[in-house]
Amino acid sequence: MASFQARQRDPLLDQGTQAMLERRGRELLGLVLILVALAFVLMLATYSPEDPGWMVATEEPAQNFFGRFGAAVASTLIILIGKGAWAIPVIVAVWGARFMAHRGGERALGRIVFGVIAVAFAAVHCATLVPSEAWTHTFGLGGLFGDTVLGSLLGIVPGGAGFGLKLLSLVTFAGLLVMMLYVTGFDLAELRAIRRFLLLGSIMGYSALAQGLGTGARGAVLGARSLQDRARSRAAANPPVARDGAPLRRTMPPVTGAAMTPEPLRAAPSRAVPPSMRSEARVAEPPVAAPKPSFLARLRRAADPQPELVEQPIADAAWDASLPSEDRIKARISDVIRNRVQRAPEPMPAAPAARVEPPVMRPRGPVVLMADTRPLPVTPRPAPQPLWQPEVDEDDDTPLPANLFAEDAPWDDEDTLIEDEHAFDSPAPRSFAVTADRRAVVQHAVKKAPPSRQALAETQPGLRFDDAAPAYELPPLSLLSSPVAIQRTQLSDEALEENARMLESVLDDYGVKGEITAVRPGPVVTMYELEPAPGLKASRVIGLADDIARSMSALSARVSTVPGRTVIGIELPNAVREKVVLREIISARDFGDSQMRLPLALGKDIGGDPIVANLAKMPHLLIAGTTGSGKSVAINTMILSLLYKLTPEECRLIMIDPK
């Protein structure tokens, strides 16, 4: 068989042209990626929560740079991953720069697929950061995804919420840095080059800084020397003069030939100096600089000398040197006496003894208690009244227990006088002032509601002398469970204050500044009243409800404003919930003695007071809730409320499809 060899066709373009076109194509792809990254930056930078999107429907024009399309994309990214969306334009821009520089383009497909993990790390790390006041969303900086993952991780990390947030912030930042370096295509050689560049840059920067400091120091030294030279030249140009205006000169005896011969050293005889030369020599002496005090001496505060105790120098010209020695001594003594008479302090007027001046400055040391021996006026004080007295029926002859008011201390005037006699006239310590200004944190609600007439009648039933029985008798309260058998569990004031301080620290970890001013414990939940710092938005605190519940180890938390007040209420469920029985509400005066046509006993409020609603004022009543929330129990409670209050003639009830 004959074989035919196929002739290969020549390529349309040579290898050099193909390589050039491939390089231009990569550069064009890199330019497109950089433009896409710039578009993402503009969309995220011009994002506004009021723009129309998937979660917001409004007729207002979009404020985004790309209109409604940019607003929809930006809102989706912000809601899902929050500030972590900024990792997307960073990754795209780095790969665009790599394609344009022809560095590492072959690693693009193997690295970009892990970009989702890098974005997830960015979202979780942003969720650990505290949002600013401009962040108006109910979720954190990491979006819904970041908050969900952060909540799961905080449940695993041991310790408090603050420690867990800081630890997770460091760990997620390290993971984000590693993933971003890997996704953007950096290898070991490039990392070593970056390390060398940073090391050399830091060394060169330190060298430039040291050189600049050295140049400045040399300039300062030269300037100081020039100032010293100018001072010396001015001192030489203006020699010191005596009192009479003649310049001072030092006269030296003429040197003779005999004085040039060496002689053994001997003590020079002392010669008397005239007073005039003594005064001139004193003027010519240079001033002696005072020794510079040490560091500890500068720290120690010494009292200034009193002017009357400082001995003033006596002028030499006050006495004449030509007088005899005895007269000269008398003249000096008279001058000294005259100077002391002139320096005598003026008599100060006596201050009234009854006036006590307040201290101008706060004392630095411990306050010395001084007993006040002045007689104090005795003023009569009214006898203290008991804060609460139980209501007792006038017809009830049951004797009261003897120890009912045992807690009230007896009132006596002698105790008051004894306490006043031991009072000290001294400023109170600082801790007392702070305690007096601080309001009480724990505020207990009144648990015992006043009973109704029906409850009092059943407690002490009367004798019935009429043989005719009533047409209809309301069901007795004894059919219901007694509230006496219910276990009342309540935390102490110290525990409630500790929880309040813990809640303040949790809010501080999330950047919410404020103070818990009151704690109102209830049967099921406890409300903490937060006084927010000025400028803090209530929506920002309300959006932290889930985070507060997680940090306080609670099942849920309810945060809302208190109507008519400046505080924000934070309700947390109690560890042990107190059971609310129907008998306790029906036997209350709010239900039994009310004038409502259709009263409904619904339960208790947060303070433990009964809640009674009037069904007659409700055109429609809808009960909604999740499974197990108590809808059926609420309906049974409403039916029993009507049966315990109304007769069959007063209430006509028709049930349709009862459960």
Question: The domain spanning residue 551 has which CATH number?
Answer: 3.30.980.40
**Residue 593 shares a structural domain with residue 609:** yes
Whether 524 and 656 map to the same domain: the answer is no
pLDDT, tens digit (0-9, with 9 covering 90-100), for 160-185: 788 888 999 999 999 999 999 999 98
Dist CA 548 CA 516 (whole Å): 14
324 located within any domain: no
Q: Which residues pair with 371 in a beta bridge?
A: 424
Per-residue pLDDT tens for 477-486? 888 888 777 7
Asked if the structure places residue 385 within a domain, the reply is: no
Question: Considering the domain boundaries, does residue 558 fall inside one?
Answer: yes
Residues 585 and 633 in one domain: yes
Mean pLDDT estimate for the chain: 74
Report the percent of the chain where pLDDT is more than 70. 63
User: Is 507 found in the same domain as 555?
Assistant: yes
In a domain, 128, yes or no: yes
Which domain does 624 fall in, by range?
580-659
CB 183 within 8 A of CB 111: yes
How far is it, in rounded angstroms, from Cα 502 to Cα 508? Answer: 10
DSSP string for residues in 401-419: PTTTTTTSPPP-HHHHHHH
Q: Look at residues 176, 195, 214 and tell me which one is the last residue of a structural domain.
A: 195
Residues 571 and 602 occupy one common structural domain: no
Residues 485 and 507 in one domain: yes
Q: 227 in a domain, yes or no?
A: no
| Residue 602 neighbours by CB distance under 10 Å | 16
Has residue 143 been placed in a domain? yes
Distance CA 317, CA 275 (A): 9
Domain for residue 371, yes or no?
no
567 plus 613 within the same structural domain: no
If asked whether residues 575 and 588 sit together in one domain, one would say no
Q: 105-138 burial, b for 16+ CB within 10 Å, e for fewer?
A: bebbeebbeebeebbbbbbbbbbbbebeeebebe
Percent of the chain at pLDDT exceeding 90: 20
566, 621: one domain:
no
Write phi, then psi, for 199 (nearest 5 degrees): -65, -45
For β-strands 568-573 and 558-561, DSSP reports them as: antiparallel
Q: Does a structural domain hold residue 338? A: no
Residue 410: partners with Cβ closer than 8 Å, 6 or more residues away? none
In the structure, what pLDDT confidence band is assigned to residue 230 with cuts at 50, 70 and 90? confident
Q: And the tokens for 294?
A: 């040490």
Do residue 561 and residue 584 come from a single domain?
no
Q: Is 143 left (phi over 0), alpha (psi -120 to 50) or beta?
A: left
What is the widest separation between alpha-carbon atoms in the chain?
162
Give the bridge partners for 516, in sequence order.
Answer: 530
Residue in the block written with tokens 């004193």: 282
Q: Which of 579, 595, 614 is the last residue of a domain?
A: 579
- Whether 503 and 620 map to the same domain: the answer is no
Count of domains for the chain: 3
Q: Are residues 534 and 637 in the same domain?
A: no
504 vs 217: CA distance, rounded Å: 51
pLDDT category of residue 188 using cuts at 50, 70 and 90 = confident
pLDDT given for residue 336 in this prediction: 58
Q: Domain end: 528, 553, 579, which one?
A: 579
CA angle 512, 518, 523 (to 5 degrees): 110
89-106 per-position pLDDT tens digit:
999 999 999 999 988 888
